[in-house]
Amino acid sequence: MSENKPILRALNGETLPTPPIWMMRQAGRYLPEYRATRAQAGDFLSLCYNSDLATEVTLQPIRRYGFDAAILFADILLVPQALGADLWFVTGEGPRLSTITDRAGVEQLKPVADIHETLNPVYQTVRNLAGALPPEVTLIGFAGAPWTVATYMIAGRGTPDQGPAHALKDADRPVFEALMERITQATIEYLSAQIEAGAEVVKIFDSWAGSLKGDDFDRYATAPARRIIAALNERHPGIPVIAFPREAGEKYIGFHAATGADCVAVDDSVSAEWVAENVQVDGCVQGNLKSSHMVTGGEALVSETRRIVKALAGGPHIFNLGHGITPDADPDNVKRMIDAVRGT
C-alpha cells in the first residue's frame, strides 16, 4: 500500500519530485463546513468525543483540498482528561484544567490502564477514518508530548512562557518527574491504541519544547520522545513517527538520531535552507511555511511556498506549515498554497 501513499514514501526516506502535503489544524475554524459541524456538536469537547462528527470534520479538508494525509480530529488535552483532570474550554480563551502542583495531585490521577474508557470514542473515529479515506491518503494519529501536556496540567491553561511548569520543575523535581512519567506512559498507550485502530503514522506535538533549554531540553523533550518512539517501534514495527519539538532551534540538529523519529517537523523560526543543511541530512523533514501566509495570501504566499519546496528538494520532505493554520485564514489561500507546491 505504501507505494500509493506519498506521505509514507517520504517517511520511508524517499525524495519525491513533488513533496506530499498536509496542514496542521487542517480541520478547523477557518472552514465554514467545520464551523457548521461544530455547531451541530454543541461544543468542542462534544465534537472530539462524537466519533461520527469527528470523522466528518477530519474528512472535510480532504474533500475540499485533496491533501495527502488526514490527521485525526482530537485534542492533546484529552489525555489529561482521561487521567482524571477536569477539562473545559472557555470561548475565545481556550482550555482550562484543574491544576496539579504537588504529589497528592499526581497520586490522585487515574491509572494509565484506565485511560481507554474515556478515549474509546477517539479510537472509533480512527476506525471510521481508516475505512473512509481515499486509498492514497495517509491517516495520521497524534498526541501531545509529555512536556507540553504537563505545562497545561500544572498551570491549568496555556501560558506565554510555561512559567508554572518551569517553577514546579525547579522547585520540586521529583513531583514534576512523577507527572512526566505518568503522561509518558499514557501517551505510549494512547498512540499504540490509535495505531491498533488504524493510524498509519503518529505525530508527537511538543508545542512548548522551545522553552526548555540546555539539559532540560535533552531530559524533558528529547528523552520522552525517544522513549515513546522506542515503545511504539517495539509494539508496531514499521509505523513511522513524526516528532515536532517546536522552536527547538539548534536542538533540531540531531533530533532524528536522538529520538528515533522517522521525520522531524520544523517551525518557521528556522529557514528551509538551514533545515536542508542541518536537519534534512538525517532524514525526512516536515514544514515550514509561516501560518500568517494563509491569512495574507498574495504573491508572497506563492513565492515563499516555492522557495521552501526548492530549498528542501534534495531530500525527503513533507510540506506543511510551521504551526497550525489560524481561524482567520482564508480557505482560498490554502488552495493557492497547494497549487504552488504541486506546480499547478
For every residue of 186-251, DSSP letters joined together read HHHHHHHHHHHHT-SEEEEEETTGGG--THHHIIIIIHHHHHHHHHHHHHSTT--EEEEETT-GGG
Total structural domains in the chain?
Answer: 1
Give the Cα separation of 99 and 152 in Å (integer).
Answer: 8
Domain with 315 in it: 2-342
152/80 Cα distance (integer angstroms): 9
Confidence of residue 169 (pLDDT cuts 50, 70, 90): very high
Q: Are 291 and 321 in contact (CB under 8 A)?
A: yes
Q: Specify the pLDDT at position 92.
A: 82
pLDDT at position 2 over 70: no
The pLDDT assigned to 229 comes to 99
Q: What is the mean pLDDT of the chain?
A: 97
Which amino acid is residue 192, in one-letter code?
S
Kind of pairing, strands 138-144 and 69-71? parallel
Sequence-distant (6+) residues with CB within 8 A of 213 are none
Q: How far apart are CA 22 and CA 157, in angstroms?
A: 28
Grid coordinates of 318: 513533507
CATH number where 52 lies: 3.20.20.210
**Do 124 and 74 touch, CB atoms closer than 8 A?**
no
Taking alpha carbons only, the member of 28, 5, 19 closest to residue 286 is 19
Alpha carbon distance 193, 191 (integer Å): 5
For residue 81, give the 3-state DSSP assignment: helix
Residue 57 · residue 47 · CB < 8 Å: yes
Does the reported pTM lie above 0.85?
Answer: yes
pLDDT at 242 over 70: yes
Q: For residues 98-136, b (16+ Cβ closer than 10 Å) or e, as one string? A: ebbbeeebbeebeebeebeebbeebbbbbbbbeeebeee
Express each pLDDT in 10-58 by its tens digit: 999 999 999 999 999 999 999 999 999 999 999 999 999 999 999 999 9
Summarised one tens digit per residue, pLDDT across range 272-328 is: 999 999 999 999 999 999 999 999 999 999 999 999 999 999 999 999 999 999 999
Which residues are marked as active site? 25, 29, 38, 75, 152
Q: Give the pLDDT band (50/70/90) at residue 91.
A: confident
Cell reading at 333: 489561500
Q: With bands split at pLDDT 50, 70 and 90, how would you rate the model's confidence at 1?
A: low
β-pairing verdict for 87-90 and 94-97 = antiparallel
Question: What is the average per-residue pLDDT within 165-182?
Answer: 98
